[in-house]
Chains A and B, each alone.
Chain A
Amino acid sequence: MAAVAENFEKTLYAPEILPGFRGRELTQKTLRLRSGIPSLDAELGGGLVRGRINEIIGRIGRGRTSLAAAFLARATVRGEVAAWIDFAGAFDPMSIGAAGVDLTRVLWIGCAGPRAIKEREREKIFLKAAELVIETGGFGLMVCDFGPRSFPLMSSAALRIARRAERTGTVVLMLAERRMCGTFAALTLNLIRGEARFTRPARFAPMLFDGLAIEACVARNKLGGAGFTAAFKARVDPDADDASGVPRPSWAVSHAS
């Protein structure tokens, strides 16, 4: 009987099984969401911590959407439901779907609708939408894409999101140019380099866009381990043979997937 109970306990607290119970197990550091990029997961201690706010910061063009899509793909493949709150209306279902994300499990919420509303009003809507989603419970991942917005959230708003995330066990992922949640973020990943790579498959052949070489630095980690850097690539055609170095053109990849 004791052995059965021990097995049951082990199963519940296994890192990759999110239990349906509320309480201390929801905020355990062992519950992580992986990106599927080994170098990054190793630096993060296994992935993003559940029930906490995580930030990916860096200028647009340095690969923060690609990194968020990697986490999103991993979450939906595991059978979780995710939400993407889109401040700038930049969600591209074609490329996100090509990344292996199950779009039927992603709730998209746009805040850049046709209604003529002020920027400040849109921010309020964005935050309210985030609170509503996280309050619902059952979402494994909530991505808040702030677009080019560069000034931080009010402490009260960040605190509300942090508390609700802790209660529901949702991974909150903020994509922004700068840090948004201050002390309430458990992890801040700074994309310090996103270098564009072009290749020419043969002499006189047309140039092809290969992708970005990205370096991510753990700028803040409440759970320990800040200052590390992980390097990885975001490629237009990740399935291209590295030896031949011939990627497919960008248009062909997105439509073939």
Chain B
Amino acid sequence: MRQFEEADAVDFVVVGTGAGGAPLIAGLAEAGFSVVGLDAGPFFRPLEDFASDETAQRQVFWTDERIVDGANPIVMGDNNSGKAVGGSTVHFAMVSLRFRPEWFKARTLLGYGADWPIDWQEIWEYYGRAERLLAISGPVTYPWGPPRPAYPYREHQLNGAAEVLARGCEAMGLAWTPTPIATLSAPRGDAHPCVYRGFCRVGCSTNAKQSQLVTSIPRAIRAGAEIRDLAMVGRIEVDEAGRATGVHYLRQGRWRFQRARNVIVAGYAIETPRLLLNSANAQFPEGLANSSGLVGKYLMTQSNQAVFGKMDQEVRSYKAPPSLTVTEHWNYCDEKDFFGGYCWMAQGPLPIEWVNVLTGSKGLWGRALREEMKDYNHQVGLKMVGEMLPDPRNQVTLTDELDQYGLPVPRITYSWGDNDKAMIAHALDQMQMGLEAAGARDVFRQENDTCHLYGTARMGFDPETSVVDADCRSWDIPNLWICDGSIFPTCGGVNPSLTIVALSLRTVDRIKALASRGDL
């Protein structure tokens, strides 16, 4: 791997190496720019470092201290943030869905949220590129939305849980499809096809999962980029002219400074605003890129409620990727009395996760819990990914408490709105109907889960109402860019990773175009 001097200004320093950062690092390095990627997490070698052990694999989560409050505090640390080179894509569920086109004009066409400053047809092209980058295994034809090309790899075989979803949907008359998913159904390069271990959400030990760690990062290194792991960025330096000059980061026990001509922040919806707010100085007392006051505001998560039950036959839902079937019916059907959409997917919780569901949602403990765990092989569930509406009261701010790096601990405030609650109620009823129609009994609901994060540095049409423009460039500081889930004005009813990768690939092209006409 090529290495750069800290004193020499590189063209780009990218903070974060996940779905937003890694494609940028690779794309910019391949375009000939000098690029350093910094990540707070370790550079794992999955074949050696990953165990089939839920507890040990918490090593891939971002479990640093956060303060959560609001009416519905978000549980942080597991399914919504990762600390590793490759970011959350090291442990994401690999579900790779495209946005419904109308969501890019949610305010104009659907009457809620905000419009994106990007046309859906342009993103559609980048979705295709993202799917090829990740060798998505998906269905030959997709039941919803405008036509899309066939996925690069074929759909996976359904596991027991996926089949239950399909049977439920067929009983309800809803369309379903094998989920487009970022794990290989056939060999690719050095990678073997998926062996259906089922530990996807705590890190794939076989490298069949097409995380950024095994896709963009190797490309970036081949193209001459440097990846510095265990490097926690605490502050972006800005000169008197109002341009970013580099980043301060903690590595091997000492604060260092990497000079750069451009800084790209891709730390996801908590760390990105935290870094921008913590970089406040005399010139930007409210934090960088925050003239609109919107950095940290409009935090969104997605409702992730579930319905679980028991089948008479063994299902073994924990084998294979957990979400092998999906129905996006309510993303594309507008005959409902709330805004936004949701999908639901098959589930396959691992044992400890399942114990958490039983204790948390069913209140089981001791002997009753032990007895219930005996039916683990028979349990089956459906879980929603639902669009929560942007609300400026949901936000990330800084507290006075300091964490292990000496940085202010973020406060994450979140409350569901009435629309969010209406959607959750609708989804729980629908999923319960589906599960019971498939033959499940002893059905119960997990009513409090959320997943994914968005919105704390939203993109938009003007500096008053947004933090970055359509090129992911901050309105206030021309050489400061933000490219991750935090730029989403609305979050849609699908998992975010594919859209983040698509935006990242688009930003590479935009930066190349701007550079070629001297606009960097």
Q: Do A and B share a complex? A: no
